[in-house]
Each structure stands twice: as C-alpha cells, then as structure tokens.
Amino acid sequence: MNLHGKNILVIEDDQHIFALIKMMLKSYSVNLDLKPDGESGLEAARSQKYHLILLDIMLPKKDGWEICRELKDSGINTPIIILTAKVEETDKVLGLEIGADDYVTKPFSPRLLIARMKAVLRRFESPQESANDKLSYETMNLIIDPQNYNIEIDGKKVALTPKEFELLTFLAKNEEQVFKREYLLEHIWGFDSYAETRTVDEHIKRIRQKLTKAGLNFIPLQTIWGVGYKFTSKNQKDKI
C-alpha cells in the first residue's frame, strides 16, 4: 500500500507528536491536516474527505472516544488509528468496540506507525469479490447492500456501525461456514495479538439486538458452541 498523496487527518494536541508524524511521512508526500482539539477534529472529519484519521485520546474540548463513537454512529467510514499513551487492555478493547481500526501506543516507532497505516489502508481499500452485489433473503425480508453499507428489513433501513456491518456481511457472504472468533477478529479488525475475542461477541450481540428491534423474527447469526459463529438463512431455532 502506497501512502503517496493520501489525505490524513491528525487530531492531536501535542505539537511534538505531530512534528514527528510530519517528519516520518515527509518522503511519502502525504497531505497532513492537524487539528489540536476534539471539536475542530470532529468537524474536519465530518466536513472533509480523508483516507485515514490518526486520533489521540486525551484531547481538549472532546476526547478521542467521543469522536470515534460519533463518527461511526453517523456513518462516516474513514478508518481510524488511535494514538495514545493508555496501555490498559480495557482501553484497547474499548477502542475496537466503538469502531477504531487499529491502536498504537505512545511512544511509537516511525516504522511501526507507518506499517500500521499501510495495513489499515490496505484492508480498507482492498476490493472484495462481488463486493457490490446485494444479498437478498426473501424468507426474512432482509437485504444487505455491501456497496452502500446499507441493510433493510421489510424495506426499512437498519443502522449498524461499520464494523457491525462488515462482520454481518462477511458471515452472510460465507453462509453456513463456521468461523472462529480469532479468525473473525483478525479478518475484520486486523488484530490477532492484543485484542480480546469478546470484541467479536459484543458485536454479534449488538447486531442481533438491532435486527430483532427492526422486526426480524429469525436471527441468522448462530453461535456454534466451542467454535464460533455462522450465518444461516435456514429457518431454524437460533442458537444464542
């Protein structure tokens, strides 16, 4: 993945960190936009188009958790890498659960951050086979539209976060195939080391709740005990 020409938003109040990022990306000719507080950063992310957001957590006016949550809830799918001095496992899990795509702790090496940026952009931009084909399930009156990140039940849209949508769509495209939590965590989030598998469980739980609230009587996401999850459109009792 080439970073050349990418538009990157850096929401960071530490000028030294921004200077480091600017220096390490100089050879890539990226377009960097710095916002030193949460409110201006959120406004920029909403009003302008970026390929990637580097987001600090401890910010004046509005913290990084709020920014990440508000962006994902509003349907903005720009990938986010969280930059923070927080190293607790619970903080890492929280970042993933509210929609962050990666998590880098300070102090970080330039090589590590660049590698993570390339990896996130690669996952985000990689074309998927039949990515634009709608998935339709007449027995459930369910339509999944990967191109527009849209789900409809009985013609009504269901609001899912980007990661919830990606998880549901991946399982639906591989109907009846069982996937371990670890595989889903690595495939959807790109993590296989420090993230907890309960991240997957929480996303499955929220998807089920939203589908049920939208009026879907049969929930196609099934738990295969001791293994993981699968998607099935066969009308059988859901194993929760």
Q: What local confidence, expressed as pLDDT, does residue 132 receive?
A: 55
Closest by Cα among 190, 25, 181, 41 to 124: 190
Distances (CA, A) of 187 to 6, 171, 183, 237: 24, 11, 6, 27
CATH architecture of 135-231: Orthogonal Bundle (1.10)
Distances (CA, A) of 140 to 143, 152, 239: 9, 10, 17
Distances (CA, A) of 192 to 18, 183, 208, 217: 28, 8, 24, 34
Q: What local confidence, expressed as pLDDT, does residue 11 receive?
A: 95
- In order, the DSSP letters of 46-72 are HHS--SEEEEESS-SSS-HHHHHHHHH
- pLDDT tens track of the chain, all 240 residues? 578 788 999 999 998 999 999 888 888 878 899 999 999 999 999 999 899 999 998 899 999 889 988 988 887 888 999 887 765 555 666 666 777 888 888 888 888 888 888 888 877 765 444 455 788 888 888 999 887 788 999 989 998 888 888 899 999 988 899 998 888 887 787 654 445 668 889 999 999 999 999 998 889 999 998 889 999 987 644 444
Q: 3-class DSSP state for residue 11?
A: strand
Q: What local confidence, expressed as pLDDT, does residue 88 receive?
A: 59
Q: What local confidence, expressed as pLDDT, does residue 1 receive?
A: 57
Phi, psi torsion values for 152, nearest 5 degrees: -130, 140
Domain 7-125 class in CATH: alpha beta
Q: What local confidence, expressed as pLDDT, does residue 91 receive?
A: 61
Q: What local confidence, expressed as pLDDT, does residue 188 receive?
A: 80
* Rounded to 5°, angle at Cα 64 from 145 and 107: 115
What distance in Å separates the CA atoms of residue 144 and residue 131, rounded to the nearest whole number?
A: 11
Distances (CA, A) of 204 to 45, 80, 158, 160, 181: 27, 21, 15, 11, 11
Torsion, CA 68, CA 69, CA 73, CA 74, rounded to 10: -50
Reduced to 3 DSSP states, what percent helix, strand and coil does the chain have, rounded to the nearest 5? 40, 20, 40
What distance in Å separates the CA atoms of residue 180 and residue 185, rounded to the nearest whole number?
A: 9
Q: What local confidence, expressed as pLDDT, does residue 240 receive?
A: 40
Q: What local confidence, expressed as pLDDT, does residue 237 receive?
A: 47
What distance in Å separates the CA atoms of residue 201 and residue 142, rounded to the nearest whole number?
A: 22
Other CB atoms within a 10 A radius of the CB of residue 89 amount to 10
Query: Domain extents for the chain?
Result: 7-125, 135-231
**What pTM was estimated for this model as a whole?**
0.58
